[in-house]
Amino acid sequence: MKKLSILITALLITIAASAQITDKTQLPTVTKDQRCIMIDSDGKFDVYEKINNELATASEAIQGDVLIITTQCEVYNKFLADFYSQSPYSDNCVILFLDYVKNTYLITTAGYLKDYEEYINSSFEAALETLTDDSTDDEFFEAYIESVVENCALGGATSTSDNHKSAAVDLPDDNWAKYQIAQRTEQNPYVFKSFLQGKLTQTQLQLALETPYVDTAVKVYDAAGLLAENEIAKLQKSIHGFINRNNIDMVVVTINHNNKTDMNGELPSDNFAMDFYEYNDFGKGEHSINGYDGVILLIDMQYRKFRILDRGVPNEKWGVARSNVDKYVQNMASDLTAKNYYAAINYFIYEYESDYQYEISFPWIKCSIFALILGFILLMIEKGKYKNIRKATSAANYVKEGSFRLTVKRDTFVSTHTTKTYDPPQKSSSGGGSHSSSSGGSFGGGGGSF
């Protein structure tokens, strides 16, 4: 028989169970795909489809069963254990039992998920503190689901336990630990909410969990150790000034090891930069399809490449990185080759702001269209002043007959002269193209080698 880790004392306190068994409360007969089971005041059972679908997705993510049971009538103290023992669910299960009669809840687990019960409860309690009196049941349910996924997904890849460190911490030759926060939480809604809503596949979730998860307030993540502490401090100050002046985000990352691969036609360096930006929820704006406004510079020491990619308004509206990437390559590659990393990054910060301000202050397209229209109008006005002028059909019209006579013909060789122009080889550049992230986000820009 399946075992459920429910302590009798916890049930007595949490559920405030009575020895009385009500006639109208019967164990529901459910199928494996029915996960959100709601018992009304008359003891009748129903399935809440909206949350049920999210529970199904969460169950796939943690490779176990995630359930919610709510009741509005009195139930006896063995209800939960009896229900689970007769259910079609797997041995690995986590259940939220919500008692609307006593206004209490209980989270309990079975199988390997028992190892994460403490972390799930802690995350859920933290999430409850962010809810208000106006919060809906759906928000309550989703906070529970996110707490389960963020701690148990993919065998506990995001758990804070010693045996399940984040994959990013274990990347060789890089120091991510000093930038990481404890675990993925509601501060990063993009990954987990998108996954639960069916917007991220299991593969995309895996990529997210393998991406270093950092405190987004830092802005300069020198995991490769290329910069001195005082240089990092000065760059941080410059970047925060840029963000405050322009209301778009800016991120600088250096790495020795890249755990990304070629995917969707993108190079590993591009994939690392885009995943790092998206799965850490960087960006300003409304986080719509054109949101997450900002830019990221990645210096990848493994592949000896640097990438400058922007997203949102800088990309979709102005194309800042796409238009100027060749200039960045020309001016940054030599500094990076000479190990002048601070100089290269400092150039990027100030030059990108200059380019961004130039683009938004001078709308080229509108001005060009206006200039063409105005020029055409002026040309038509001028043309109208010369209605009596007719088009010449021959050069003879311009020569007076008999006025030109050739009297001497001579061929004289003077000298030879050859002109050569030095064309130096161009630094490697991908050009200013468009890039698609693993989650479908659109980035613009490129970079070069050093």
Top-confidence residue, 266 or 427: 266
pLDDT tens sequence across 289-324: 456 899 999 999 999 999 999 999 898 888 999 999
pTM: 0.59
pLDDT tens sequence across 85-122: 888 999 999 999 998 888 889 999 998 888 889 989 98
Alpha-carbon torsion angle 57, 60, 61, 63, nearest 10: 150
What angle, 0 to 180 degrees and rounded to 10, lies between the N-to-C axes of helices 117-130 and 137-156? 150
Q: How far apart are CA 302 and CA 266, in angstroms?
A: 16
Q: What is the pLDDT of residue 162?
A: 37
For the cut 90, the answer to whether the pLDDT of residue 385 exceeds it is no
**CA distance to 163, 170, 329, 330, 439, per residue, from 427 (Å):** 45, 34, 7, 7, 31
Q: Please report which residue ranges of 115-228 form alpha helices under DSSP H.
A: 117-130, 137-156, 189-196, 202-209
| Predicted confidence band of residue 17 (pLDDT cuts 50, 70, 90) | very low
Across 119-123, 268-272, 405-409, 423-427, the highest mean pLDDT is recorded for 268-272
Domains of the chain: 8-164 (3.10.310.50), 214-362+430-449 (3.10.310.50)
Q: Is residue 287 a contact partner of residue 190, using CB atoms and an 8 Å limit?
A: yes
For the cut 50, the answer to whether the pLDDT of residue 50 exceeds it is yes
For the cut 90, the answer to whether the pLDDT of residue 448 exceeds it is yes
Q: What is the mean pLDDT of residues 387-401?
A: 61
Q: How far apart are CA 147 and CA 17, in angstroms?
A: 26
Q: How far apart are CA 112 and CA 268, in angstroms?
A: 34
State the burial class of residue 87 (Cβ atoms within 10 Å of its Cβ: 0-12, 13-18, 19+). buried
Q: What is the mean pLDDT of residues 325-330?
A: 94
* DSSP at 430: -
Q: Please report which residue ranges of 297-385 form alpha helices under DSSP H.
A: 313, 320-337, 341-361, 364-384
Q: Is residue 77 a contact partner of residue 17, using CB atoms and an 8 Å limit?
A: yes
Q: What is the pLDDT of residue 384?
A: 66
